[in-house]
Amino acid sequence: MKRHLLVLVACLACARQGREAQPPGPVTIVLEHQPLWGDPAAFHASLERFQQENPGVVVRTQTLPNASDVAREMFLTALEGGADDFDVFAIDVVWAPEFARAGWLADLTSAFPPERLRAQYLASTIEAVTLDGKIYAVPWFLDVGLLYYRTDLVPRAPKTYAELQSFARAAMARNPGLAGYLWQGRQYEGLNCNVFEAIWGHDGDLLRDGRIALDTDAARAGLGFLREAIASGLSPRSVVASAEEETRRAFQDGRAVFLRNWPYVWAEVQKPGSPVRGKVGFAPLPSETGAPGPGTLGGWQLAVNAHSPPWRRRAAEKLVAFLTSGEAAVELALRYSRIPARRAVYDDPRVREGAPFIAALLPVALAARPRPVTPYYALASDSIQGELSGAVAGLRSPADALSRAQRIVDHLESR
């Protein structure tokens, strides 16, 4: 009996060693990412360069659904089940704390020391991938909320909410068919971004002592501004059911004075055939005081699957370093109009000449703020969207909605 037990232990040890030992031949790693919105040939060519520089490593790619919430659900299902059939994957800026806390992201601190990243990247992008002082992903490219305006309808970009209303009303009086201010009010993550920007624009914050704070004077003022925009007719009732594309199309068709949206809109409104081509400017969001209003930090980071075996993890870290390098960021800006997370890329002569819109975004990118960096944000986001939606739709007061939302997040954070 004892002999059989020893044989069994030895067999288990051999099996474990077999799983942990690198198999012969090239190391194949899988990269999962969302579409980059452009000809994929340039990106595939960069992956070929990586393989040439790293003989013995083969990279395979899998494209994720474009919808962030759908991609997140796919990852939740796979990672909860211990899936190790992918190695490097793109994660939304708000997923890192949740995924890291669950043990699904490899700790990249040794390969990407925080002090080095902070010297190279915009501060907000590093804050979003740091949990308990450790790095769990590397910024790939970012997004930030912007204000677009019709240069032929208003004298300049508004700096305050009062100016936004005044400029819009004057344009609407001259052309009653115009909407004043379009934004994303549908019950989804985009609504949270708009509400958070309005809170920041009223000199508020979203965290107090490390916990989400929504039941505040600034939050009531910010959410109240959005509700009043609809109630007063500054924003059409349709924003309650609108996301990015509905508002972008209406603005691009020439049916609005102002639009809050992401940087991708710029390339769309400047396309040949666009009714507003040459008639659109962009600026930071307004605020109560006139200081540039912070936009919500969006974007994508590259993480490594904690379930990947060691030899694939080492190759995965090399791929992350390659794809997040300065040269890769320049190519993303020029080929795919992706906003750099690296500070120096904005000053690169190639970007200044080939993508002046992106180079001009540096002040807005520097001021961008992340959504609450907490492992509970995803749960909180899903829970509070209904309350915020009810307020902008006029079903309950902003004060009541925020009080209810605060109780929800307090319960989640106390679990």
Read off the pLDDT of residues 141-156 as tens digits, 9 standing for 90 and up: 999 999 999 999 999 9
The residues near 90 (Cβ < 8 Å, ≥ 6 apart) are 32, 33, 34, 64, 140, 300, 301, 302, 303
- Residue at 359 is within a domain: yes
Average pLDDT for 353-379: 90
Instruction: Give the residue among 164, 141, 124 at the shortest CA–CA distance from 283.
Output: 164
* Claim to verify: residue 217 and residue 334 sit in the same structural domain: no
Between 30 and 378, the more confident residue is: 30
Cα–Cα distances (Å) from 164 to 115, 193, 241, 253, in that order, read 40, 19, 22, 20
Distance of CA 60 to the CA centre of its chain: 24
User: What average pLDDT does range 193-216 have in this prediction?
Assistant: 95
Same domain, 41 and 136: yes
What distances in angstroms separate CA 324 from CA 230, 330, 340, 406, one per listed residue?
Answer: 41, 10, 10, 37
Classify residue 65: in a domain, yes or no. yes
The reply to whether 120 and 166 lie within a common domain is no
**pLDDT for 50-85, tens place per residue?**
999 999 999 999 998 877 878 889 999 999 999 999
DSSP letters, 290-305, are SSPBPPBEEEEEEEEB
Q: Per the domain annotation, does 3 fall within a domain?
A: no
Residues contacting 287, CB < 8 A, separation 6+: 159, 160, 161, 200, 201, 202, 203, 293
Is residue 244 domain-resident? yes
195 shares its domain with 114: no
Instruction: State whether 65 and 109 are in the same domain.
Output: yes
Q: Are residues 189 and 76 in the same domain?
A: no
Average pLDDT score, the chain: 92
Q: Could you give the number of structural domains in the chain?
A: 2
Residue at 279 is within a domain = yes
Angle at 90 between CA 371 and CA 183, to 5 degrees: 40
CA dihedral for 185, 191, 194, 200, sign (positive or negative) = positive
Question: Are 162 and 275 in the same domain?
Answer: yes
Query: Over 80: is that where the pLDDT of 371 sits?
Result: yes
Query: Is residue 61 assigned to a domain?
Result: yes
Residue 89: its pLDDT value, please? 98
How far is 355 from 346, CA to CA, in rounded Å?
9
What average pLDDT does this structure show over 370-378?
Answer: 84
- % pLDDT > 90, the chain: 82
Q: Whole-angstrom Cα distance, residue 24 to residue 97?
A: 35
Residues 153 and 265 in one domain: yes
Total residue length of the chain: 415
247 and 388, same structural domain?
Answer: yes
* pLDDT value for 373: 80
Quick check: 384 and 214 in contact, CB under 8 A? yes
Distance (Å) of CA 279 to CA 150, 152, 161, 260: 6, 6, 22, 16
User: In terms of DSSP H, where are the helices of 288-397?
Assistant: 310-323, 326-336, 349-354, 356-359, 362-367, 377-392
Q: Do 50 and 183 have their domain in common?
A: no
Question: Are 160 and 237 in the same domain?
Answer: yes
pLDDT tops 60 at residue 20: no
**Residue 210 within a domain:** yes
- What is the domain-level CATH number for residue 277? 3.40.190.10
Mean pLDDT of 199-215: 94
CA distances (Å), 398 to each of 94, 219, 222, 235, in order?
25, 9, 9, 17
Is 230 within the bounds of a domain?
yes
* Domain containing residue 314: 26-142+297-367
Same-domain status, 104 and 152: no
